């Protein structure tokens, strides 16, 4: 990892507060490790027009989370926000409320160590790594706090703030304080999130063959996006989030699966059998057909194919997926990660089976 780019901000006079320190003797040089009573980082996150009253701007929300003290501030640096985004941080509405486009989240950690003094190159690398870990750790906490805060506001009647599970966008670079307001550091070049390549299959990468077909999918004659595949992609997205939204992932996958099997039945059935399929699928109250039955009796009646006969194990997994969907929809069950991800994997597999009919 490259050296962090650290930019002093504000008054650079070293605080005079006494701090316990001791010699580290790193590489034979006289360096110091000082114990800092409190250090904190500050992150600005973009929000899509959060509506507040004027008197709210000067207030803050304070609480504890993940072993750290947290503070959310509504009043942010308007000039810095304008420079980073091209828009003002606040806008007054005709009804007297104020629309704000950013919030600051501060994460405090107590009793941390920091290297200072005549540092060797290896000691500086150690300090850089420690600061990088601090920023990565506090960023993950701050991002989760910002997302949950936006969700609370969304549920209180501000749906324009986005969809559930959407991660907030970081504005500008974070700042780190060693506990003294006049001793700030602006820091950039920090890799906040570790990539998770195991969740990014290589077959999903854009290949030259895909590139050549994109023009037809994006131009004037472009087809409509397939709704079943769109729902499955949404399900995979919610399962991929950190932390994952497993309830929504399973619900999206189940809806996509039902849409997919019904669409394929209509596409593959003969002209003579289409009226019967339309009758069965178009009048669910008159003809009680469970979704899983479409993969067995319904499929056999229309196409003389049956997932149950051809792949009993996959049929069982799809059946368990629909059962899990029902428990979520009717009982509010929160599935465990293993069951939810297997349910979604089963839907992906059955999509491939349906495409091969």
Of the pLDDT bands very low, low, confident and very high (cuts 50, 70, 90), residue 1 is very low
What is residue 348's predicted lDDT score, i.e. its pLDDT? Answer: 94
Q: Which residue has the higher pLDDT, 168 or 319?
A: 319
What is residue 123's predicted lDDT score, i.e. its pLDDT? Answer: 60
β-sheet bridge partners, residue 186: 7, 175
Report CA 238 to chain centroid distance, whole Å.
8
pLDDT digits (tens, 9 = 90+) for 261-296: 999 988 888 777 776 676 666 665 544 457 898 999
What is residue 188's predicted lDDT score, i.e. its pLDDT? Answer: 53
What is residue 32's predicted lDDT score, i.e. its pLDDT? Answer: 47
What is residue 23's predicted lDDT score, i.e. its pLDDT? Answer: 41
By C-alpha distance, which of 42, 111, 31 is closest to 73? 42
- 153-162, long-range: CB < 8 A, 24+ apart: 153/50, 158/50, 158/51, 160/48, 160/49, 161/47, 161/48, 161/49, 161/50, 162/48
What is residue 121's predicted lDDT score, i.e. its pLDDT? Answer: 61
Q: Which residue has the higher pLDDT, 175 or 184?
A: 175
Q: What are the strands, taking DSSP E only, across 53-191?
A: 60-65, 68-73, 90-92, 98-117, 169-177, 184-188
Read off φ and ψ for residue 116, nearest 5 degrees.
-150, 175
Residue 6: CB atoms within 10 Å: 15
| Residue 324 neighbours by CB under 8 Å, 6+ apart | 250, 254, 333, 335, 339, 340, 343
Rounded Cα–Cα distance for residues 72 and 61 (Å): 5
pLDDT digits (tens, 9 = 90+) for 195-220: 444 455 666 677 777 777 777 877 78
What is residue 346's predicted lDDT score, i.e. its pLDDT? Answer: 97
Of the pLDDT bands very low, low, confident and very high (cuts 50, 70, 90), residue 302 is confident
Which CA distances in Å does 155 have to 22, 70, 205? 51, 22, 36
| Residue 125 neighbours by CB under 8 Å, 6+ apart | 3
Residue 130 has pLDDT above 80, yes or no: no
Residue 244 has pLDDT above 60, yes or no: yes
What is residue 202's predicted lDDT score, i.e. its pLDDT? Answer: 61
Taking the CA atoms of 113, 114, 120 and 124 in sequence, report the sign of the dihedral they define.
Answer: positive
What is residue 174's predicted lDDT score, i.e. its pLDDT? Answer: 84
Mean pLDDT confidence for 252-261: 95
Mean pLDDT confidence for 237-249: 87
For residue 131 the two structure tokens come to 């600061």
Residue 120: CB atoms within 10 Å: 16
How does the average pLDDT of the chain come out, rounded? Answer: 78
What is residue 354's predicted lDDT score, i.e. its pLDDT? Answer: 96
Of the pLDDT bands very low, low, confident and very high (cuts 50, 70, 90), residue 29 is very low
Which CA distances in Å does 100 have to 55, 85, 146, 169, 205? 13, 13, 14, 14, 37
CA atoms within 13 A on the CB side of 215: 3
The CATH fold assigned to 225-355 is 1.20.120
For residue 157 the two structure tokens come to 């009647």
What is residue 197's predicted lDDT score, i.e. its pLDDT? Answer: 40
What is residue 131's predicted lDDT score, i.e. its pLDDT? Answer: 75
CATH 1.20.120-classified regions of the chain? 225-355
pLDDT digits (tens, 9 = 90+) for 66-104: 888 999 999 888 888 888 888 888 888 878 889 899 999
Read off φ and ψ for residue 36, nearest 5 degrees.
-95, 120
């Amino acid at each position: 990892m490259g050296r962090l780019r650290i930019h002093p901000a504000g008054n650079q006079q070293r605080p005079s507060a006494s701090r316990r320190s001791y010699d580290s003797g790193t590489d034979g040089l006289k360096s110091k490790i000082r114990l800092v009573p409190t250090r904190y980082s500050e992150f600005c996150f973009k929000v899509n027009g959060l509506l507040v009253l004027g008197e709210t701007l000067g207030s803050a929300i304070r609480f504890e989370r993940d072993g750290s003290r947290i503070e959310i501030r509504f009043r942010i640096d308007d000039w810095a926000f304008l420079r980073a985004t091209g828009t003002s941080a606040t806008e007054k509405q005709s009804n007297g409320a104020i629309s704000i486009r950013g919030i600051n989240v501060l994460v405090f950690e107590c009793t941390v160590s920091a290297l200072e003094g005549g540092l060797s190159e290896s000691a500086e690398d150690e300090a850089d790594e420690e600061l990088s870990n601090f920023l990565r750790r506090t960023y993950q906490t701050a991002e989760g706090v910002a997302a949950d805060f936006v969700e609370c506001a969304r549920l209180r009647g501000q749906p324009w703030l986005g969809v559930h599970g959407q991660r907030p966008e970081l504005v500008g670079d974070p700042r780190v304080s060693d506990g003294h307001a006049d001793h700030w550091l602006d820091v950039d070049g920090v890799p906040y999130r570790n990539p998770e390549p195991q969740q990014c299959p290589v077959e999903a990468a854009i290949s030259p063959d895909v590139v050549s077909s994109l023009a037809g999918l994006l131009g004037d004659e472009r087809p409509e996006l397939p709704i079943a595949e769109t729902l499955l992609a949404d399900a995979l997205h919610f399962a991929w989030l950190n932390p994952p939204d497993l309830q929504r992932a399973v619900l999206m996958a189940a809806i996509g699966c039902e849409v997919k099997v019904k669409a394929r039945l209509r596409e593959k059935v003969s002209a003579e059998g289409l009226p019967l399929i339309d009758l069965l699928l178009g009048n669910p109250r008159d003809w009680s057909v469970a979704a899983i039955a479409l993969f067995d009796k319904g499929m056999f009646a229309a196409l003389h194919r049956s997932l149950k006969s051809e792949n009993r194990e996959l049929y069982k997994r799809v059946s368990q997926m629909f059962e899990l969907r029902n428990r979520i929809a009717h009982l509010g069950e929160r599935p465990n990660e293993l069951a939810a991800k297997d349910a979604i994997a089963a839907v992906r597999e059955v999509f491939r089976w349906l495409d091969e009919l």
